[in-house]
Amino acid sequence: MHRITRVGCVCLSVIMALAQPCAIIGQTVPVPTPQMNVVVVEGEAAIHDVRQRKATDLVVIVRDGNRKPIAGASVRFILPAEGASATFSDGSRALAITTNSNGHAIARNLRPNSIPGRYTIQVEAQHEGQTSSASVTHFNMTVERSKGGSGKWVTILGIVGAAAAGGTVAALRSSNGNSQPAAAPSTPISITPGTGTVGPPR
């Protein structure tokens, strides 16, 4: 009698174990809903000249999980409170905007402060209970400009670089056992900043 009871318990356990995977397979697994996202359209890695402090725009687009633009989303731009940073047209460091029909949010008249350095702008978006964020990197720099124009400086640097390369090739040929003597050094070249001239020292 006891043996029959034990056999019955074992059979019942086996049946339950075999039936459990079938129950799991029959369950409906919920599919995660695609989330909205914020994409930077204009303004990433922007460089500001702290001497001129020209205003620029920052543009982002808010899209749903199917990559369609979301109109009416709330977007907030947040600038660093200290160090290298910038301000918006009203002098504040935070700006709230609602996306247009194309899903764009535009932060206009972003003006850098006078402190050079790298800083990050935080972008936060909300719509119908969903949230998303992004970050934008900007740089405040002191841009040096020559009086003669950048084109002249590029030409001068190219001439000096070619002369240095020629000297290096001559030295390598001499060290490789070539019987020809190395070329005599040419007249030193001097560069006068701001004038864009090349010639012997005076």
Give the tens place of pLDDT for each residue, 158-184: 333 444 444 443 444 444 444 444 444
Say how many domains are in the chain: 2
Region for 75 from its dihedrals, namely left if φ exceeds 0, alpha if ψ lies in -120 to 50, beta otherwise: beta
Residue range 75-91: mean pLDDT, rounded: 96
In a domain, 11, yes or no: no
- The residue from 141, 165, 180 where one domain ends is 141
25 falls within a domain: no
- Looking at the structure, do residues 136 and 52 belong to the same domain, yes or no? yes
- Residue 105's SS3 state is strand
Check pLDDT > 80 for residue 45. Answer: yes
- pTM of the full predicted structure? 0.59
Range 143-166 average pLDDT: 47
Domain that holds residue 161: 150-194
Q: List the structure tokens of 11.
A: 């059979």
Q: Averaged over 184-200, what is the pLDDT?
A: 47
Domain annotation covers residue 2: no
Q: What is the reported pLDDT for 28? A: 75
Q: Which of 102, 120, 141 is the last residue of a domain?
A: 141
